[in-house]
Structure 1
């Protein structure tokens, strides 16, 4: 369903839409760079629902069925990367603060006063921004395979960065799927490999729903432009769980350590064999500490 959040159109899925879960505590799921709400595994959503929570997930701006921002133009990623490495100000069409305001706007549109906020990768960064902007709305914070954004933290392995910045060999559906299979294999969990057929099915589900690479590029510059967040994280007083894969080749484990170090009282849960994805085995490892964390808050 569509809602208006922060002045733009956002696509939302809510397990409490029929009213049967209206009294349950809410978990707001925020997805990562270029990924749609359908990237949240059904097993993960069902696990939270079975644990007694109402689950709300949505497409971030510029991705999926939410409002696209093509009128803002396509950024120069190489120039933005150079400026980021040098510590210069990166210009971005919109900010992670704007995307956090979208998330809060989703809660407003659904009449939800407080929620447990869970984000993966870029979604974890947005979740951190939500906790900074509206601490009274956040019952707990969970940052998964994400980062504080601090300078000089280790970055992706060179081959992973090349895969991330590459483009499909053509415009056909097969070329697009082949491209994302290579990317997801590069960042995937070595301890929980996903077979090619299941991976292609998951990618097809997303690309047939929406394919909008320009939005991903704008989101990437929003990440690079959010240079001050690391210094602000000590202001967070919300109960926080940081979960990270020990084998993450895109956002190394050191980024999770740094996030947990900066947020007072944050607990770090490192998962052996986990990379930068959410295959079935990883979902189980995530739910084990996540559900008690949510209930304790």
Structure 2
């Protein structure tokens, strides 16, 4: 099984990954909270059939087959460094980055950390942190249930309620299909360690990408795309509109979709991703697309950093004792 060993404090992080295809156009898929990279199976199956593409999925630190370092380095910014270490290991000069939920948070951090390595950025059901990033109470309830429930049938039923929209679950055929899928994954899964569990929860709670950093992403040489479901129980839909407004990019709203977009609307998402990647490829073959940075860019950044809402977010983070 393929692993890459990355430095993590004084220990070594063993990051498990899987490669699909062998094309020259690279895709990095980043999964979310306590979920293995194999959950991208519907996307990897789609792009494996496209000979021009190669994609990689991996298990974040503290999850699945990757190791759980006994350290405090569990944050979305550190996990972005893990992702960068992976593409360095694969010797990928650039790649398309797709992240969902906590994976989208990691993708945002990666875009801030190494914008020159990204060809396009796609964010599914995610947020930039701060006050608006707090999960709805129903989402917190489902997460707690998934941690403490013991009966596997009850666990899977809770997962379905957490990830999928009512319209999907009211369809008996689709409900059974997703039930069987999650039951199979549940029985094959590697239970996260206590360190991994706490680390992932801490990473989500501590996540924060400032407006200044979002503006830096906006004026980076790659295009962004945001997708959101209208019945997401874990991440408020409004967060995607905030991201869309600041990043100045296209937003796709999927009606009757929950948090598990990559499964629930797999066909639609795959086609949108493929269209996006092909558009990038065609644009690059003609002329290098780059957004023009306004002359008052530095002033704009400074103004955003000093705005009231930004300072409020920072105060709350400091009050809670979370430091990036």
Q: Match of 1:195, SS?
A: helix
Aligned equivalent of 1:253, options 215, 234, 237: 237
Mapped partners of 1:46, 1:119: distance in 2 = 17
Q: Match of 1:234, SS?
A: helix
Q: Is the alpha carbon distance of 1:191 and 1:55 closer, same or farther for their aligned partners in structure 2, counting shifts above 3 Å? A: farther
Mapped partners of 2:270, 2:249: distance in 1 = 17
Q: Is the alpha carbon distance of 1:62 and 1:229 closer, same or farther for their aligned partners in structure 2, counting shifts above 3 Å? A: farther
Aligned equivalent of 1:111, options 87, 91, 109: 91
Task: Please tell me whether residue 277 in structure 1 is matched to residue 276 in structure 2.
Answer: no
2:95, 2:119 within 8 Å by CA — same for their partners in 1?
yes
Aligned equivalent of 2:215, options 234, 245, 249: 234
Task: Please tell me whether residue 225 in structure 1 is matched to residue 230 in structure 2.
Answer: no
Please give the TM-score of this superposition, normalised by the length of structure 2: 0.75
**Matched ranges for 1:145-156 at <5 A:** 145-153=125-133, 155-156=135-136
1:39, 1:206 within 8 Å by CA — same for their partners in 2?
no
Deviation at 1:106, TM superposition (A): 0.7
Residue in structure 2 matched with residue 211 of structure 1 by the alignment: 191
Mapped partners of 1:32, 1:112: distance in 2 = 22
Q: Match of 2:132, SS?
A: coil
The runs of at least 4 consecutive aligned structure 1 residues that moved more than 4 Å come to none
2:13, 2:68 within 8 Å by CA — same for their partners in 1?
no
Q: How many residues are treated as equivalent by the alignment?
A: 265
Residue in structure 2 matched with residue 9 of structure 1 by the alignment: 14
Residue in structure 2 matched with residue 60 of structure 1 by the alignment: 60
Which stretches in structure 2 are left out of the alignment for 5+ residues? 281-324
Q: Kindly provide the CA deviation profile for residues 269-291 of structure 1, in whole angstroms up to 9, marking residues without a partner as x.
A: 11111101146550112123221
Residue in structure 1 matched with residue 311 of structure 2 by the alignment: none
2:62, 2:193 within 8 Å by CA — same for their partners in 1?
no
Deviation at 1:153, TM superposition (A): 4.9
**Matched ranges for 1:18-37 at <5 A:** 21=22, 23-37=23-37
2:80, 2:109 within 8 Å by CA — same for their partners in 1?
yes
Deviation at 1:151, TM superposition (A): 1.8
Mapped partners of 1:281, 1:243: distance in 2 = 13
Please give the TM-score of this superposition, normalised by the length of structure 1: 0.82
**Matched ranges for 1:170-185 at <5 A:** 170=150, 175-176=151-152, 178-185=154-161
Aligned equivalent of 2:228, options 232, 238, 244: 244
Deviation at 1:180, TM superposition (A): 3.9
Q: Kindly provide the CA deviation profile for residues 174-222 of structure 1, in whole angstroms up to 9, marking residues without a partner as x.
A: x245324313323312333342464244243244231116323311211
Residue in structure 1 matched with residue 143 of structure 2 by the alignment: 164
2:229, 2:259 within 8 Å by CA — same for their partners in 1?
yes
Q: Match of 1:270, SS?
A: strand
Deviation at 1:127, TM superposition (A): 0.6
The root-mean-square deviation of aligned C-alpha atoms, in Å, is: 2.1
Mapped partners of 1:244, 1:49: distance in 2 = 25
Q: Match of 1:54, SS?
A: strand
Q: Kindly provide the CA deviation profile for residues 71-121 of structure 1, in whole angstroms up to 9, marking residues without a partner as x.
A: 24xxxxxxxxxxxxxxxxxxx642211100100111111111111000000
Higher Rg of the two aligned structures: 2
